[in-house]
């Protein structure tokens, strides 16, 4: 288990998970699975008991092409594929409120992976904004088609904290997509120089403004975007190998066998 940021643990699944762990699971935790490229960010109390695995992606993200989903995607757009918890969506919408007037007509914001519950939360929050056609909630697509949506986007946007095992940043980088994300230790370790990480300080409004400005900059400055596309492909070169995907499975199986042997 690699934990989620506190911001994401206030409602829904994360709240139930935290309660379950608090009732006895964490006290008996023998170790945790943790990405090997994020070693320096592993929690200190568990670092010595961590089992490190290589970063890995769903095969669709390192195959040359995948089946295109039956979606009417615009020629240019910004993609969000993250948490649909209220706090995350509010950050997303506040940031977009700073960027929509300048770029929303030609680079709309497309939201992927909401599901029914996430869609309802989005609709309730979006009612407070007047985004019109600049924001679109995409219907569900098959897992095998998600990579095709990423491949079609112009910029990937991740305005919230990053989970250790969360894959959207790696997925976008693996396809050479420029990333705009909230600056954080984990985002920095995952992306390195291959993303525009926006730091707005601690004030919510300033963070949203910084993220919105970063989106505008990414869209209007072709040289910056093209440079990040190249850096993204270089950054992700080791993640996109089929051999790396196989190695992940083999090492995970070895960890499970070791843990089962220790418990017997």
Report percent pLDDT > 90 for the chain. 50
pLDDT of residue 241: 61
Question: Which tokens go with 179?
Answer: 């990333």
User: Is the predicted pLDDT of residue 191 greater than 90, yes or no?
Assistant: yes
Judged on CB neighbours under 10 Å (0-12, 13-18, 19+), 246 is exposed
Residue 157 β-bridge partners:
180
Flag whether the pTM goes above 0.75: yes
Q: How sure is the predictor about 71, in pLDDT bands with cuts at 50, 70 and 90? A: confident
Q: Are 123 and 89 in contact (CB under 8 A)?
A: no
Q: Which of 63-72, 155-164, 251-260 has the lowest mean pLDDT?
A: 63-72
| Residue that the structure tokens 């996430």 belong to | 118
Report percent pLDDT > 70 for the chain. 80
Q: Mean pLDDT across the stretch 136-155?
A: 90
Distance (Å, whole) CA 237 – CA 73: 27
Angle between helix axes 222-235 and 204-220 (nearest 10 degrees) is 100
Q: Are 169 and 133 in contact (CB under 8 A)?
A: no
- Give φ, ψ of 202 to 5 degrees: -105, -20
User: Is the predicted pLDDT of residue 109 greater than 80, yes or no?
Assistant: yes
Q: Which helix (H) or strand (E) holds 175?
A: none
16-20, 40-44, 151-155: which is most confident: 151-155
Residue 99's alpha-carbon distances to 59, 106, 171, 200, 217, in angstroms, are 33, 12, 24, 15, 10
Count other Cβ atoms within 10 Å, centred on residue 3: 18
User: Is the predicted pLDDT of residue 98 greater than 90, yes or no?
Assistant: yes
pLDDT in tens, 208-260: 999 999 999 999 999 999 999 999 999 888 776 656 667 878 888 888 887 77
81-85, 138-142, 243-247: which is most confident: 81-85
Q: Mean pLDDT across the stretch 130-151?
A: 90
pLDDT of residue 52: 85
pLDDT of residue 13: 44
User: Is the predicted pLDDT of residue 76 greater than 60, yes or no?
Assistant: yes
Distance (Å, whole) CA 195 – CA 207: 17
User: Is the predicted pLDDT of residue 11 greater than 70, yes or no?
Assistant: no
pLDDT in tens, 20-41: 444 444 445 567 888 888 888 8
pLDDT of residue 14: 42
Residue 32 β-bridge partners:
50
Judged on CB neighbours under 10 Å (0-12, 13-18, 19+), 143 is exposed
Q: Which long-range contacts (CB under 8 A, 24 or more apart) does 26-33 make?
A: 29/1, 30/259, 30/262, 31/259, 32/1, 32/2, 33/1, 33/2, 33/165, 33/252, 33/255
């Amino acid at each position: 288990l690699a934990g989620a940021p506190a911001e994401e643990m206030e409602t829904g699944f994360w709240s139930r998970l935290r309660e379950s762990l608090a009732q006895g699971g964490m006290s008996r935790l023998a170790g945790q699975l943790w990405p090997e490229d994020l070693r320096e960010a592993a929690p200190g109390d568990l670092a010595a008991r961590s089992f490190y695995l290589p970063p890995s992606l769903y095969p669709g993200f390192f195959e040359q092409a995948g089946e295109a989903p039956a979606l009417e995607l615009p020629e240019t757009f910004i993609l969000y594929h993250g948490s649909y918890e209220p706090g995350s969506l509010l950050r997303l919408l506040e940031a977009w409120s700073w960027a929509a007037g300048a770029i929303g007509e030609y680079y709309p914001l497309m939201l992927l992976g909401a599901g029914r519950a996430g869609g309802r939360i989005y609709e309730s929050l979006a009612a407070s904004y007047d985004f019109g056609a600049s924001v679109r909630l995409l219907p569900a697509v098959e897992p095998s088609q998600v990579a095709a949506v990423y491949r079609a986007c112009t910029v990937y946007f991740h305005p919230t904290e990053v989970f250790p095992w969360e894959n959207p940043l790696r997925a976008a980088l693996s396809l050479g997509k420029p990333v705009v994300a909230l600056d954080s230790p984990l985002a920095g370790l995952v992306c390195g120089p291959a993303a525009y990480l926006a730091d707005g300080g601690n004030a919510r409004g300033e963070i949203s403004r910084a993220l919105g400005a970063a989106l505008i900059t990414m869209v209007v400055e072709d040289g910056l975007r093209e440079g990040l596309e190249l850096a993204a492909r270089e950054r992700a070169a080791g993640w996109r190998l089929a051999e790396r995907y196989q190695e992940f499975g083999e090492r995970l199986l070895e960890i499970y066998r070791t843990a089962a042997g220790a418990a017997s």
